[in-house]
């Protein structure tokens, strides 16, 4: 086995304890040829000062909360690795996780994007993520709800979570990293969507141990209540619409947009009936952002045309046939607060 350098990029916003545990697990890995790059989003809990004291960690101060994807982008500028591993601050890797990922990459030269199975950090036996699909409107669907880890087919995976992305550097050099206009939610989906368009293949590495708490990047419990209502709805709808406009081919957009607007209007009516007009207003604000930035989106579409090797017709074979939004609504109790 070769000994490629892995650049592990972790960013943090007020999550000092989780981040220190994550970095400790990286440094205790059996695979030693890694560089850990810590990007701090102007935290107020002493994260930067504390983590700067840890040996063998490159520290980068962003100076502001740039959002998850832009934090990873900043860390990438300081990286040298043959592989890039992106993650959240609330993760831990098993001792052989990086070793298993490198072994998989060495055995599968034709594959460029890998990820471990994500287990729940609390009980370490429950699968949290195997990989993700999307429905025909680009809404995420977690594959572990319909298939187990033994029977999953790599060719059906549409994207991996950014919390555990293991990427060959050449992919980033061709398609770029995360979209600067996506502050939070669906930045990993957009990146992998572009990789799919460019013809890159994905593989789940089932024997790489990886553990994830989930939700830490939005701050403390009080902050989560805010993010999980109006702003989360705005970001989700803004990014969903943005990704559709950016990544679908014209014929696909003509077919899908009527369904998208009809379903969105139905959701807006539902929230109005629930006495939550600000949630309905978030949809309109999301659409207006995309209309206002249409020139920028068109330029992005032109860049994607240059890298496209796979048509939407071919990508449709990977999609979840159903409404991922309705599935999510059935599985989760959603609290919407004014």
pLDDT for position 121: 82
Q: Per-residue pLDDT tens for 46-57?
A: 999 999 999 999
pLDDT confidence band for 221 (50 / 70 / 90): very low
For residue 153, pLDDT beyond 90: no
- Pair 155, 318: CB distance under 8 Å: yes
Q: Per-residue pLDDT tens for 289-327?
A: 999 999 999 999 999 999 999 999 999 988 887 777 776
What's the rounded Cα separation, in Å, for the pair 304 and 308? 6
What's the rounded Cα separation, in Å, for the pair 116 and 98? 9
pLDDT for position 328: 63
> Phi, psi (5° rounding) for residue 187?
-70, -35
- Pair 147, 118: CB distance under 8 Å: no
SS3 at position 211: strand
For the segment 128-133, the average pLDDT, to the nearest whole number, is 86
pLDDT for position 335: 37
pLDDT for position 231: 85
For the segment 245-254, the average pLDDT, to the nearest whole number, is 96
Domains of the chain: residue spans and CATH: 6-218 (3.90.550.10), 221-331 (no CATH)
Q: Which parts of the chain fold into alpha helices (H)?
A: 16-27, 47-51, 68-77, 97-107, 169-175, 187-197, 221-226, 232-247, 250-273, 277-292, 294-307, 312-315, 324-331
Q: Please state the pTM of the whole predicted model.
A: 0.90
Q: Which parts of 36-134 fold into alpha helices (H)?
A: 47-51, 68-77, 97-107
For residue 151, pLDDT beyond 90: no
Q: Which parts of 6-67 fold into alpha helices (H)?
A: 16-27, 47-51
For residue 222, pLDDT beyond 60: no
For the segment 177-201, the average pLDDT, to the nearest whole number, is 95
Nearest to 234 by CA among 316, 174, 176, 290: 290
For the segment 171-198, the average pLDDT, to the nearest whole number, is 95
Q: Which helix (H) or strand (E) holds 220?
A: none
74, 115, 142, 202 from 157: Cα distances, Å: 27, 11, 10, 7
pLDDT confidence band for 146 (50 / 70 / 90): low
Q: Per-residue pLDDT tens for 61-82?
A: 999 999 999 999 999 999 999 9
For residue 158, pLDDT beyond 60: yes
SS3 at position 199: coil
What's the rounded Cα separation, in Å, for the pair 258 and 31? 50
* DSSP codes, 140-161: EEEGGGT--TTT--GGG--B--
Pairing assessment for the beta strands 6-12 and 34-40 based on DSSP bridges: parallel
Q: Per-residue pLDDT tens for 267-276?
A: 999 999 989 8
pLDDT confidence band for 149 (50 / 70 / 90): low
Q: Tokens for 232?
A: 């989360």
pLDDT confidence band for 22 (50 / 70 / 90): very high
pLDDT for position 85: 98
What's the rounded Cα separation, in Å, for the pair 161 and 197? 17
pLDDT for position 219: 46
What's the rounded Cα separation, in Å, for the pair 326 and 46? 41
For the segment 235-256, the average pLDDT, to the nearest whole number, is 95
* DSSP codes, 254-290: HHHHHHHHHHHHHHHHHHHHTT-HHHHHHHHHHHHHH
Distance of CA 145 to the CA centre of its chain: 18
pLDDT for position 315: 94
pLDDT for position 312: 95
SS3 at position 203: strand
What value does the mean pLDDT of the chain take?
Answer: 88
pLDDT for position 230: 83
> Phi, psi (5° rounding) for residue 205?
-100, 100
SS3 at position 10: strand
Pairing assessment for the beta strands 164-168 and 113-120 based on DSSP bridges: antiparallel
pLDDT confidence band for 203 (50 / 70 / 90): very high
């Amino acid at each position: 086995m070769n000994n490629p350098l892995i650049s592990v990029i972790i960013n943090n916003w007020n999550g000092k304890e989780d981040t220190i545990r994550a970095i400790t697990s990286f440094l205790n890995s059996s695979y030693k040829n890694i560089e850990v790059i810590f990007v701090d989003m102007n935290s107020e809990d002493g994260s930067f000062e504390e983590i700067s004291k840890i040996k063998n960690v490159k520290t980068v101060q962003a100076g502001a909360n740039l959002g998850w994807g832009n934090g990873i982008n900043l860390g990438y500028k300081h990286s040298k690795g043959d592989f890039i591993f992106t993650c959240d601050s609330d993760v831990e890797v098993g001792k052989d996780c990086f070793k298993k990922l490198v072994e998989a990459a060495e055995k599968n030269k034709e594959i460029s994007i890998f990820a471990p199975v994500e287990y729940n950090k609390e009980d370490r036996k429950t699968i949290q993520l195997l990989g993700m699909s999307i429905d025909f409107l680009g809404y995420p669907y977690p594959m572990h709800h319909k298939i187990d880890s033994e029977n999953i087919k790599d060719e059906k995976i549409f994207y991996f979570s950014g919390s555990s992305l293991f990427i060959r550097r050449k992919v980033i050099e061709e398609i770029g990293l995360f979209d600067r206009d996506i502050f939070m939610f669906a930045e990993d989906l957009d990146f992998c969507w572009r990789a799919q368009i460019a013809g890159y293949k994905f593989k789940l590495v089932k024997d790489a141990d990886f553990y994830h708490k989930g939700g830490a990047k939005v701050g403390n419990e009080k902050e989560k209540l805010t993010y999980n209502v109006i702003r989360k709805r705005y970001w989700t709808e803004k990014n969903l619409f943005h990704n559709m406009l950016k990544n679908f081919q014209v014929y696909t957009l003509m077919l899908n947009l009527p369904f998208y607007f009809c379903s969105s209007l139905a959701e807006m009516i539902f929230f109005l009936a629930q006495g939550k007009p600000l949630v309905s207003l978030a949809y309109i604000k999301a659409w207006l952002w995309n209309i206002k930035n249409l020139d920028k989106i068109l330029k992005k579409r032109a860049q994607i045309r240059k890298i496209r090797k796979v048509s939407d017709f071919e990508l449709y074979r990977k999609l979840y046939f159903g409404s991922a939004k309705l599935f999510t609504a059935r599985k989760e109790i959603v609290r919407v607060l004014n």
